[in-house]
């Protein structure tokens, strides 16, 4: 392992300035200063404001847009730095390849289970029963269907993974392209002498500290972003829209709760981790995601939180960014529910054969929309078009409540990727600081069977 001067390790986001007399604030000030509480209160107030003043509330969407853009501004460099320093710390591509294979295996297995759960819940509860078909398709569909037509092939996804330039990867917002650049850069570093690598790693570590401090400053605006997002959603669509399709939203949220508590709960338990304690550690990030309905708004903070609970950077840097493209558990649960919902609205029966085809189509097309703006709805549009069974016009019904669905969907995506990272770290020899994980998320200190075999 090439660690040089030993500076390739955890991200140091502390301030060096001496504080000989720490300031102890009263408990009430600490509670009011909790970002998670501020976001929750902001979202609640925004829902009321959107109901009583819908026109004014609908104009507040830029508050959320600016907040998400500020976070996205630092996502690409943070992903690059964390992955590069993690690969160099791991000492070679063999460990990286092993982590990647395990992560992809986990993604496919859990994603398939999530989809099967969505199909089962939609078949059992039939959210589309009794809902009248839309008289006409929503004009907003025109913003998604052309994108869906361009992303229906897996080949188009593969061709989009390699950037036209190294700099371009940081400007397109495609995390997969940043991963490619980071891996190639790290491979090149591993083939250089330590005298060259050490200064670069010191600079990367220092730059990581600066970027994470930027994230902490941006997060002070999280309540404002959540207020704008929720107010604009309620003001634009109104509570009556949600009331008309409340069964679809309720069934989707119920399925997501079952997935989190049962599936992720069992996975976490099998890995010797407390899901409740992990959720508690991520409460701020989950509330921000729920308020903004944007998973990317907490990607940097999620990486930092996972390191704080004991996951190694070599695992975090690869699993988390890849998971935001390939491990969208919330999408995997909700998309089949929406497809079956449309079929039920129009009275189109979907047989077991149709549902198996739906599963296979989703497993391919969900990768084809990685990095695409509005990728969840694009994936739904792709799937509906590819199945050629349910009417495309039914997408208008789903689009009218998609903002409400995306809030729970995005939070599930983030939690699913957190669990995936912890599981892969636990699976990887040396991938998890077991003592730190035991203190923070209740992880057992015993090695898994796979880790025991590979450490011999």
| Distance in angstroms (rounded) separating the CA atoms of residues 166 and 178 | 8
Q: Which pLDDT value is given to residue 270?
A: 92
Q: Residue 244: helix, strand or coil by DSSP? A: helix
With tokens 């929503």, the residue in question is 138
3-state secondary structure of 432: strand
Q: Which domains does the chain have, with CATH numbers?
A: 34-454 (1.10.3860.10)
Residues in the chain: 456
Give one DSSP letter per residue of 315-348, joined into a string: HHHHHHHHHHHH--HHHHHHHHHHHHHHHHHTT-
Report yes or no: 310 and 425 within 8 Å, Cβ to Cβ.
yes
Using CA atoms, how far residue 350 sits from 127, 249, 283, 333, 354, in Å, is 14, 20, 38, 17, 6
pLDDT for position 17? 42
What does the alpha-carbon distance between residue 156 and residue 159 come to, in Å, rounded to a whole number? 5
CA 119 to chain centre: 22
**Radius of gyration (Cα) for the chain, nearest Å?**
22
Of 374, 340, 375, 378, residue with least CA distance to 357: 340
* Residue spans of the chain under pLDDT 70: 1-34, 91-92, 134-160, 173, 237-244, 365-375, 445-456
Question: Residue 79 and residue 90: Cα distance in Å, rounded?
Answer: 16
Which of 342, 352, 355 lies closest to 390 in space, CA to CA?
342
Tell me what percent of the residues of the chain surpass a pLDDT of 70.
79
64: nearest Cα among 285, 284, 289, 238: 289
Q: What pTM was computed for the model?
A: 0.74
pLDDT in the model for residue 369: 52
Question: Residue 87 has what pLDDT?
Answer: 80
- Residue 368 CB neighbours (<10 A): 22
Name which of 442, 436, 349 is nearest 387 in CA terms.
349
User: For residue 58, how many other CB atoms are within 10 A of its CB?
Assistant: 17
Question: What stretch of H or E contains 95?
Answer: helix 93-125
Torsion of CA 429, 435, 440, 444, to 10 degrees: 70
What percent helix, strand, coil does the chain show, rounded to 5?
75, 0, 25
Handedness of CA 210, 211, 216, 218 (dihedral sign): positive
């Amino acid at each position: 392992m090439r660690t040089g001067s030993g500076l390739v390790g955890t991200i140091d986001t502390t301030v060096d300035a001496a504080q000989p007399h720490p300031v102890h604030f009263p408990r009430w000030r600490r509670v009011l200063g909790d970002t998670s509480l501020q976001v929750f209160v902001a979202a609640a107030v925004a829902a009321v404001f959107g109901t009583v003043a819908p026109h004014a509330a609908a104009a507040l969407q830029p508050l959320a847009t600016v907040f998400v853009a500020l976070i996205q501004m630092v996502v690409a460099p943070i992903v690059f730095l964390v992955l590069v320093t993690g690969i160099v710390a791991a000492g070679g591509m063999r460990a990286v390849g092993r982590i990647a294979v395990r992560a992809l295996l986990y993604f496919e297995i859990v994603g398939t289970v999530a989809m099967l759960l969505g199909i089962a819940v939609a078949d059992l509860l039939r959210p589309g029963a009794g809902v009248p078909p839309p008289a006409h398709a929503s004009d907003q569909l025109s913003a998604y269907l052309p994108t869906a037509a361009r992303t229906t092939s897996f080949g188009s996804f593969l061709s989009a993974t390699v950037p036209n330039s190294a700099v371009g990867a940081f400007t397109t917002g495609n995390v997969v392209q940043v991963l490619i650049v980071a891996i190639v850069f790290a491979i090149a570093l591993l083939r250089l002498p330590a005298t060259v690598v050490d200064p670069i790693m010191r600079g990367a570590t220092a730059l990581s500290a600066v970027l994470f401090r930027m994230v902490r400053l941006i997060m002070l605006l999280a309540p404002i972003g959540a207020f704008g997002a929720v107010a604009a959603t309620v003001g634009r669509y109104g509570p009556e829209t949600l009331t008309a399709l409340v069964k679809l939203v309720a069934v989707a949220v119920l399925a997501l709760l079952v997935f989190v508590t049962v599936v992720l709960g069992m996975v976490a338990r099998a890995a010797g981790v407390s899901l409740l304690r992990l959720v508690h550690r991520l409460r701020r990030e989950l509330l921000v995601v729920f308020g903004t309905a944007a998973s990317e708004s907490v990607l940097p903070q999620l990486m930092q939180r996972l390191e704080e609970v004991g996951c190694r950077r070599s695992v975090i840097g690869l699993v988390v960014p890849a998971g935001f493209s390939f491990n969208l558990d919330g999408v995997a649960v909700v998309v089949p529910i929406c497809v079956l919902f449309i079929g039920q609205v129009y009275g189109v029966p979907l047989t077991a054969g149709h549902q198996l085809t739906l599963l296979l189509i989703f497993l391919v097309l969900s990768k084809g929309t990685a990095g695409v703006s509005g990728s969840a709805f694009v994936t739904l549009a792709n799937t509906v078009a590819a199945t050629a069974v349910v009417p495309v016009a039914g997408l208008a019904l789903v689009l009218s409540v998609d903002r409400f669905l995306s809030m729970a969907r995005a939070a599930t995506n983030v939690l699913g990727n957190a669990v995936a990272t912890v599981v892969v770290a636990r699976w990887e020899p040396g991938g998890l600081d077991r003592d730190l994980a035991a203190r923070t998320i209740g992880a057992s200190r015993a090695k898994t069977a796979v880790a025991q075999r590979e450490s011999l």
